[in-house]
Each structure stands twice: as C-alpha cells, then as structure tokens.
Amino acid sequence: MRQKIVAGNWKMNTTLQEGIALAQEVEALIAGVNNGAKVIVCTPFIHLTEVKKVLKKAALGAQNCASEVSGAYTGEVSAAMVKSTGAEYVILGHSERRSYYHEDDAMLAKKTKLALANGLIPIFCIGELLSERESGKHFDVVKSQLEKGLFDLSEEDFKKIVLAYEPVWAIGTGKTASSAQAQEIHKFIRDTVAAKYGQAVADLIPILYGGSCKPSNAKELFENPDVDGGLIGGAALVASDFNGIITAF
C-alpha cells in the first residue's frame, strides 16, 4: 500500500505568530483522525523551527531549498539548514518557483540531489500550463520534467521521492482537473516511472494532486487508484478546510 499524503503549502502567507496558531489548530483537528493519511505542513523558512515545536502528528516541510551547498549566496537557505530545523520534506519544482524565479530542470535536479543528500524528502512538482494542455502537450511536458529533473537519480534515491502533479491552470484559480483528467495523467506519470525504474518502484511512489483541491472535491479526486493524496495551497490556510481534505480519504 502506498502512503496517502496530504501536504499543505502555506506559500508566503502568515506571520510567525499566525503560522504557529494555524499549526496548533491543524494539530487539534487531526488529533482524532486515524485514516492512515500522512499530514505535512510546508511553512515559510522562518516558521520552521517554531512550528516544529507545536507539531505532534503532522510532519514539517519547507517550500524550497538552495541549489548550492553553502557559502556566499545571500538570502538562500540550504538543504542542510532546512534539515537542521527538524523538517523532513521540501517542496521542489513548484510552478511558482519555475515561473517567477526561473528555476529550470537542471537547477531542480541539483536541488533534489542536495535535499536527498541531507535526508530531506522532496515533494517534486510537475505540471503543464493551460496552453500546453490545450495543445495536447501535457503528457510530453510532465514526461520531460520527470526525465530532466529526476531520472538521473539512482533507484535507491528515486524511491524516496513524493511526486505532485499540479496543472498550472488549476493552481489558485478555482479550476480543478476533473477526476478523470487527474487519473489519466497520474497513471501516465506512474507508467513513465515504471518504464524507467520498474513497476515495483512506480507502485511505491506517492503521486499527489494539486490545484484548487478543497473539501468538496477531494474525495472524488482521492478515490482514483493513482491519486495518493493532495498538495494543497489556499485550503491549507484554513484549518477546517485542510482537515476536511485530510478526512476525505
């Protein structure tokens, strides 16, 4: 059985105090949930250490890490620094990082290797733009993102990865991929992984869906055989909505 996961991406939201309060609210709500889903909260860097102190059931993640080990990179935060806060996960390749900060596949491959070398589990995001879906290129786009970002990894390392399929046109837009669209491309992603690393590895890798996931659509999305949970943006900022998604399994 693959691990079911619901990961919240807080993005650049909440002050430190608001973040601590949100984490406390999430913990209070998930205390009684025992459906086997792993809950992860991915906070801004400066929240990590303090939020870690209030987490009991949920795991901690960051939203990025540097592509260099250490040194004169003003404003950057290394994988080792993230790890030292008690974080276990790091989101890499989010479409906002790819588009606003020009993170390309080669840079993401470097970040992924550094994250793994420092004992962090990458939540690696892939997904197509609206124009790419409309022109039928979405399969090629996600395949290329996988190949260039991850397929240089050893099997042993690849097995640690969590994938997140996030169609860019569905992120923060209120538009969600239909359940059938999600299953179709998640299956394609799993088959692509199987062709590279074998079916046993592909069967092990959680593939999360991200893009306007909310309590009202989570159940339908998560019922698909190849959708193993969600990477949640906006709805992760409201503890009751986040919990509504967690309990959708």
Q: Which residues bind ligand PEP (CB under 6 A)?
A: 9, 166, 171-172, 210-213, 231-235
Closest approach of Cβ 23 to ligand PEP, in Å? 18
Catalogue the active-site residues.
Answer: 94, 166
DSSP one-letter code for 27: H
Give the Cα separation of 52 and 145 in Å (integer): 31
What does the alpha-carbon distance between residue 221 and residue 213 come to, in Å, rounded to a whole number?
Answer: 8
DSSP H or E stretch at residue 122: strand 121-126
Nearer CB in complex with ligand PEP: 185/197 = 185
Shortest separation between residue 172's beta carbon and ligand PEP, angstroms: 4
Q: How far is the CB of 206 from ligand PEP (least distance, A)?
A: 15
What is the DSSP code string of 124-179? EEE---HHHHHTT-HHHHHHHHHHHHTTTS-HHHHTT-EEEE--GGGTTTS----H
Minimum CB distance to ligand PEP, residue 199 (Å): 28
C-beta of 197 vs 242, nearer to ligand PEP: 242
Nearest residue (CB) to ligand PEP, 7 versus 114 = 7
What would the 3-class secondary structure string for 60-98 be?
A: EEECCCCCCCCCCCCCCCCHHHHHHCCCCEEEECCHHHH
Crossing angle for the helix pair 179-197 and 215-222, nearest 10 degrees? 50
CB of 212 to ligand PEP, least distance (A): 4
- Asked whether 194 and 235 are in contact (CB, 8 A), the reply is no
CA–CA distance, 122 with 247 (Å, rounded to integer)? 24
Residue with smaller CB distance to ligand PEP, 11 or 197: 11
> Taking Cα atoms as reference points, which of 146, 141, 73 lies closest to residue 108?
146
Residue 158: which of 118, 121, 126 has the closest Cα? Answer: 121
**Residue of closest CB approach to ligand PEP:** 233
- Of the pair 197, 237, the CB lying nearest ligand PEP is at 237
